[in-house]
Amino acid sequence: PITPGELLCLGSSLAFSGLFYYLYRRKARVVARIQEAPKLQVDDDLPALVSAAEGRCLPYVALEGIVLPAQAALTSHYHEGLQGVIQKLLLREHRLIWNSLARSW
């Protein structure tokens, strides 16, 4: 015979498994969209491409191009020949979506 406590544990285990699988599938779809993102070059055609897009916004793109330092490039102390720059401007667009689970925007 199965006790009510065992049924409660089984039900909650199935509910949590279903919830975590749902969250996993939702994030997997986002990762797939990011991996399929078109790769664009930073050149003179980019502003025309953005203004021709729906809503003047490209949802997921990977921008490729050469970055030039404003002053001098940073060199790594740990890897010889490795250089980098510091990004000074970062533009992020955030959509406001109501999260009913967390009850927040």
CA distance 53 to 60: 12
Given pLDDT bands bounded at 50, 70 and 90, which one contains residue 19? very high
pLDDT for residue 88: 67
Q: What is the pLDDT of residues 29-68, one digit of tens each?
A: 989 988 888 888 888 888 898 889 888 888 778 888 887 8
CB 61 within 8 A of CB 40: yes
Does 57 map to a domain? Answer: yes
Does 90 map to a domain? Answer: no
Does 79 map to a domain? Answer: yes
Residue 20 has pLDDT above 90, yes or no: yes
Does 101 map to a domain? Answer: no
CA distance 90 to 63: 13
Residue 24 has pLDDT above 90, yes or no: yes
Q: What is the pLDDT of residues 70-103, one digit of tens each?
A: 888 889 899 888 888 877 666 777 677 777 887 7
CA distance 83 to 74: 5
Total domains, the chain = 1
pLDDT for residue 89: 65
CA distance 21 to 29: 12
By residue range, what is the domain housing residue 75?
4-84
pLDDT for residue 90: 67
Does 93 map to a domain? Answer: no
